[in-house]
Structure 1
Amino acid sequence: MSRVNKPTLCAPRDLRARTAERARNATQKATEKANRRRSWPRWTEKAMRLGLIAFPILLAGGAGAWAYQTGWFGTMADRTTAALIDLTVDAGLEVQEVLVEGRVETDRNAVMAAIQVKRGDPILRFDPEAARAGLERLRWVATATVERRLPDTVFVKLDERRPMALWQRDGKLALIDRDGEVLTERELGRYNNLLQIIGADAPKHAPELLGHLATVPALFERVNAASRVGGRRWDLHLANGVVVRLPESDIGGALKHLAEQELKQPVLDRDIVAVDLRLPDRLVIQTSATAAQRRRVPEEKI
């Protein structure tokens, strides 16, 4: 048999030309692209990537800052809180009772005005701290405690100021406590049992004097008033008109000396004008034949 040779397959000339042209075009484009990349600094690509990531973050942050500065967050929070509190009323969390403990002198209406609450108010909206501050601005209130007692009660405990003395100033009397706070200038007849003090600085020094007088109760009950002399010491004015002149220092020792003398040999009921206790080792008694006729309430006595 005769051998048959397979024909050699070859691409037409125009096909090879087109393929070569495509390859040259692709190479040229790749070269141009590489050249463009080399024309920018190496860090620009990273910067652009970071910019794409940071832009949304900065945008969100700016929106948040705007909302904060314009009060949008606060307004929305307040509205949400108010809506939630209103819902608690339906659950029974509303003020139905106000319990006040320790109120003796403080006016009831003044208490209610200070705590600013009324029946039916949402109890969670009530501010105990603001109520406490309002109560402690009242004259008679030294300290106050305010609590919310769920579901429906506001509890108030008052620690009222304690009257100490009647203070004469500018020809008028005022009731004061141990801190010198003026409590009232009206209806003072209820406090006639208190010591009357005279002098601009009398309230400051009165607690010390009262402390010493409390150690000699028999003498204390005879004292009607006490006046400051020269801002340095006290004169006591007894009910029978006798004046007891106290020293600047060691008031307690001088009063005890007088009290002991009264037990041994009473002098305060004699026909005398004054007893001077300013000398530490003796009593100086001022008397005269006409002392009984001249005995009167001192000019500074109330």
Structure 2
Amino acid sequence: MQPVTPTPRDPAPSRMRYRMQRWMLTPGIRTALRIGIPLMVVIGAAGGFLSDQDRRDMLMLKIGELRAGIEERPEFMVGLMAIDGASAGLSDDIREAVPLDFPVSSFDLDLEQIRTKIAELDPVKNASVRIRPGGVLQVDVIARKPAIIWRSRDGVALLDRNGAHIDEIGSRLQYPDLAVIAGDGADDVVPEALTLIQAAAPLGDRLRGLVRVGERRWDVVLDRDQRILLPPDRPVRALERVIALSEAQDMLERDVAVVDLRLSARPTLRMTSDAVENWWRIREINGSGQ
């Protein structure tokens, strides 16, 4: 009887085992095994540690102490505020608008919020804020320049060339070199007022100011209670005509109370009351002498 020869074992894995090996070799599964499982272990441990309220409070306390230790280091502390480009009064207003208790950590300063508060002040045209080396909060200000004085029902105020409000003043005598405008809506047309004031330069010191009438036209006010009533359209040209006529015939040096140019086709002169009385007196004398 011949011996039975055993069938040689196939070294190849089974189909299921082959598929399992291939699945284990895919990049996603390898990454999950290398990173995901340790991460889940860490998260689980952290969750177990933080499940206790006392442990959470202790951790937050340690984090706060660590953060405070970093933020309060000398190189991050701001000790003073420096303001450039502003007058003494405006500097005081800025410090009042941005009350800071120095020293303060630079991490506690919102520079954009500080800049916005400063820029909201009427005298400030533009502002920039930064932290200089040495712990200095540097504020650079571009202040509005007074261009004209506006007298309104609420008082006397300074305006810039665009009509932006700068500050209230007690009297126009504080700025004797600036012209005065008055009337409702005068602050809305400051550029036109400045053009008229420039055109009135030949009148010299006789110019007292401009009055806005009906929010649509200007009266030029001179000394001796004289007025030039300008039309709503092309007022600069009308004023230049009056000045040219006055230089040629001394019209404004005579007893003229009002030069009315509201109707460009029919300019009108109104004499002073004394001139009218003298005229009637002369007529009476001439009439009685006939």
TM-score by length of 2: 0.65
Tell me, yes or no, if the aligned pair for 2:211 and 2:220 is still in contact at 8 Å.
yes
- What is the CA distance between 1:81 and its match in structure 2? 4.2
SS of aligned partner of 2:72? helix
Look up the match of 1:83. Answer: 69
Instruction: Give the alignment partner of residue 158 of structure 1, picking from 141, 154, 160.
Output: 141
Look up the match of 2:202. Answer: 218
1:207 aligns with 2:205: no
Tell me, yes or no, if the aligned pair for 1:275 and 1:286 is still in contact at 8 Å.
yes
- What is the CA distance between 1:283 and its match in structure 2? 4.7
State the distance in 1 between where 2:228 and 2:61 align.
70
Gaps of at least 5 residues in structure 2 are: 1-36, 51-56, 278-290
State the distance in 2 between where 1:171 and 1:153 align.
40
Instruction: Give the alignment partner of residue 175 of structure 2, picking from 183, 191, 198.
Output: 191
Look up the match of 2:20. Answer: none
Instruction: Give the alignment partner of residue 128 of structure 1, picking from 90, 95, 111.
Output: 111
Look up the match of 2:34. Answer: none
1:88-127 equivalences under 5 Å are 89=74, 92-104=75-87, 106-117=89-100, 119-127=102-110
* CA pair 248-183 structure 1, distance change in 2 beyond 3 A: same
Tell me the amino acid that sits aligned with residue 253 of structure 2.
Answer: D
State the distance in 2 between where 1:75 and 1:136 align.
39
State the distance in 1 between where 2:167 and 2:62 align.
45
1:172-187 equivalences under 5 Å are 172-177=155-160, 178-181=162-165, 183-186=167-170
* CA pair 126-283 structure 1, distance change in 2 beyond 3 A: same
Tell me, yes or no, if the aligned pair for 1:273 and 1:287 is still in contact at 8 Å.
yes
Tell me the amino acid that sits aligned with residue 139 of structure 1.
Answer: D
SS of aligned partner of 2:105? coil
State the distance in 1 between where 2:120 and 2:149 align.
22
Gaps of at least 5 residues in structure 1 are: 1-52, 67-71, 294-302
1:275 aligns with 2:259: yes
* CA pair 198-212 structure 1, distance change in 2 beyond 3 A: closer
Deviates more, 1:234-243 or 1:198-207: 198-207
Aligned length: 235
- What is the CA distance between 1:282 and its match in structure 2? 6.8
| CA displacement, residues 137-189 of structure 1 (integer Å, 9 cap, x when unaligned) | 32322221111112322221112223343333337333334334262143553
Tell me, yes or no, if the aligned pair for 1:195 and 1:225 is still in contact at 8 Å.
yes
State the distance in 1 between where 2:179 and 2:87 align.
21
* CA pair 237-83 structure 1, distance change in 2 beyond 3 A: same
State the distance in 1 between where 2:152 and 2:81 align.
39
SS of aligned partner of 1:163? coil
SS of aligned partner of 2:243? helix
Tell me, yes or no, if the aligned pair for 1:213 and 1:220 is still in contact at 8 Å.
no
State the distance in 2 between where 1:260 and 1:77 align.
81
SS of aligned partner of 1:290? helix
Tell me, yes or no, if the aligned pair for 1:175 and 1:183 is still in contact at 8 Å.
yes
- What is the CA distance between 1:231 and its match in structure 2? 2.3
Instruction: Give the alignment partner of residue 215 of structure 2, picking from 211, 231, 247.
Output: 231
Instruction: Give the alignment partner of residue 242 of structure 2, picking from 244, 249, 258.
Output: 258
- What is the CA distance between 1:103 and its match in structure 2? 0.8
Structure in which a larger fraction of residues adopt helix? 2
TM-score by length of 1: 0.62
* CA pair 184-172 structure 1, distance change in 2 beyond 3 A: closer
Instruction: Give the alignment partner of residue 143 of structure 1, picking from 126, 130, 136.
Output: 126
- What is the CA distance between 1:281 and its match in structure 2? 6.0
Tell me the amino acid that sits aligned with residue 170 of structure 2.
Answer: R
Tell me, yes or no, if the aligned pair for 1:176 and 1:184 is still in contact at 8 Å.
no
Tell me the amino acid that sits aligned with residue 134 of structure 1.
Answer: K
* CA pair 142-77 structure 1, distance change in 2 beyond 3 A: farther
Look up the match of 1:298. Answer: none
State the distance in 2 between where 1:155 and 1:82 align.
24
